[in-house]
Structure 1
């Protein structure tokens, strides 16, 4: 055999060997990929398509689903942009390492810290076994309302477990706890500019619920304990256990029927405990009471204060009426450079807590006023209907401590946070 023939044969042999190695490598890679997908399926929910255009359902392969599980990366992307995912009890055990880190507890159950396989931290609210009708309503309200939202100022609901033995909700984990820790605890005070940003962010979250969702969502329980703060102190409205969906083209849009009192005394609008029509403006009232507590860095009702300052909202009105803004700014620790924003917050709070719901601004107007985009008219007296004796008699009812026979105050203060044991009522 000549030299050229030998070279040609050698070249052909090398090409054949390369082809065989390439084919072997592809087969090995394919088998390995299938094996990984099989392993992933044991911990990931799988998605089933719907022919009628409704949102897909989620179930576990252990429940007999014939659909293919998605890789972890794709699954986490789906969670971040899609509707809540349905998880199994076995998956929750894996996410929480058998419920090893408790964040808080309350009348609803307990909250544990967890982590998705990709490393994302979550808060898992495990509801007490044998839910009564009210607890079931809370579960449905949480999934049915917050599960439809996606906004930077609303806490995310990633998924839920609805099993005979376990019912739980999986939320975005909020590193800095609830707002009340930063306005009532002197050891955790925030600077006024940051509190102003938090107030605006909270208002934007409520505005989204009222104006930008396909169905209007009324929260019913706006208060500092239900405003959670992220690692970067971004406020997120949480705890939708009392929330209600309203169709925009129905009578319920402006006149809702409630089968029980809702909200927390001290923040709940008068129409929630009197036989008045209830609208989304009840959230505006509650937000106004939250603004007063940000301004005063104290509870609105404080029996330890002198009689004139015992109820902070009315004291603010009396100072505004006399043109004494200096006293408010001084008490609130607001510097001269923040004076204009402090005045705006005072006026917005007074407009929000007007006794008549029709006199309260919309949350979109509240945002514009707080941001200084529009001028604010001098507020009307929101407490004109009250005499001093009525304020004292009714203080426990609508500016004081919650009682079980008056209202149901919702869930724990620290549901989604790392701030220790929560309080079920405040």
Structure 2
């Protein structure tokens, strides 16, 4: 007879069976989980692969098609960080030169997707200067977006290559078409197109000064920095001297000389406070060259025409604009627009920054939306014995017309003269010594 208690053997067998059942269930659960995980992984992989090949998926359960496209466009607009190897391949090891200057050399490049670019390789007398120019351009162009500004695709900053990658402008710079294309086989731009280029440039500067979160001063507006696309639309380029500044600042702190002689405002080469109005002055000098289709300074001409701006002022002052139209080969149908552009140019190059219009008003005057006031002589300071006193104040008070140009900043170390009610209405201030 067995000494084991009754029923022990049956209990042991049942426990063993129950334990085996739990193991089987656990295995089944694990297998099911693995199957689910594999299925999920396959779905995610397939979904990711599909989105990579079809970025604009029209699926209302996810992001709407319009928003997907918008986000994709925004992603493309962010500056890309290229490697030196990528840029050397795109430019065929920097073999096709588009232009060069003190800033460096610009090369033509083509990426594998067919996009043509202009690669500006920076150089300078010191690493610090290169870094300053690099930071100025990237920080400026990385935060701006306007039809009349050249688009920055990306950059490269390595010890072997420091470069900026811009959209390629097939028709080159404005200076070529103004000064070099006359005797060649290239198309000479008509005055109507030149007027459009002037307005596009003005709109770009107005955007930089008045529409960006921080005001951007370009400091180097000139024909060589106005590029033209396939339709000869103006695109402002070369922000190597640009400076971001707070709109509340009454003037800009300068750490060194800026601008190009002949285009730089007097305050940039004299010990005077500087504001964004220095760009207005440079734009005025650009307008003179557009009107004359010649460089402002040309020593090959007679003394009277050697410096075009003052010759143009004398023709305007003595009401001999017909002479100017003939010399500049301006057709009769363009004379009204040309005269308007000349008056705007004279307003822009006024010696004192506070008497120059802001760029948004320049745009309106060029468009014909605002009447251009009769300009003062902007070159009286060049001649000894000529006073800028009460006569100028009186003329300014009478000649503001219906224009709306304003200057909220008085940047000279001088007292402000109370003007007429009309001057107060349009916030025009006149400074006297």
Please report the TM-score for the alignment, with normalisation by the length of structure 1: 0.71
SS at match of 2:98: strand
- Which residue in the other structure is 1:395 paired with? none
State the 1:154 CA deviation: 0.6
The answer to whether residue 267 in structure 2 is matched with residue 268 in structure 1 is: no
- Which residue in the other structure is 1:237 paired with? 236
Q: Is the 8 A contact 1:178 1:226 kept in 2?
A: yes
Aligned positions of 1:333-412 closer than 5 A: 333-387=329-383
- Which residue in the other structure is 1:195 paired with? 194
SS at match of 2:140: helix
SS at match of 1:333: coil
State the 1:135 CA deviation: 1.7
State the 1:128 CA deviation: 3.7
The answer to whether residue 205 in structure 2 is matched with residue 206 in structure 1 is: yes
1:76 to 1:139, Cα distance in 2 relative to 1, 3 A: farther
1:88 to 1:295, Cα distance in 2 relative to 1, 3 A: same
Alpha-carbon distance in 2 for matches of 1:314, 1:100: 43
State the 1:130 CA deviation: 8.7
Which of 147, 154, 157 is the matching residue for 1:162?
Answer: 157
Alpha-carbon distance in 2 for matches of 1:291, 1:129: 30
SS at match of 1:148: coil
Q: Aligned residue pairs: how many?
A: 326
State the 1:79 CA deviation: 5.4
The answer to whether residue 278 in structure 2 is matched with residue 282 in structure 1 is: yes
- Which residue in the other structure is 2:326 paired with? 330
Q: Deviations over 1:245-303 (max 9, x none)?
A: 01223x2xx30011111000100000000011100000000000000011111111111
State the 1:108 CA deviation: 3.5
Structure 1 residue runs without a partner (length 5+): 1-22, 38-72, 391-426
Greater relative contact order structure (CA < 8 Å, 6+ sep): 1
Q: Is the 8 A contact 1:184 1:297 kept in 2?
A: yes
- Which residue in the other structure is 1:149 paired with? 144
Alpha-carbon distance in 2 for matches of 1:283, 1:129: 24
Q: Is the 8 A contact 1:79 1:158 kept in 2?
A: no
Pairwise CA RMSD: 2.8
Alpha-carbon distance in 1 for matches of 2:105, 2:232: 24
Q: Is the 8 A contact 1:115 1:121 kept in 2?
A: yes
1:366 to 1:311, Cα distance in 2 relative to 1, 3 A: same
Q: Is the 8 A contact 1:227 1:236 kept in 2?
A: yes
- Which residue in the other structure is 2:294 paired with? 298
- Which residue in the other structure is 2:308 paired with? 312
Structure 2 residue runs without a partner (length 5+): 1-38, 54-68, 387-433
- Which residue in the other structure is 1:217 paired with? 216
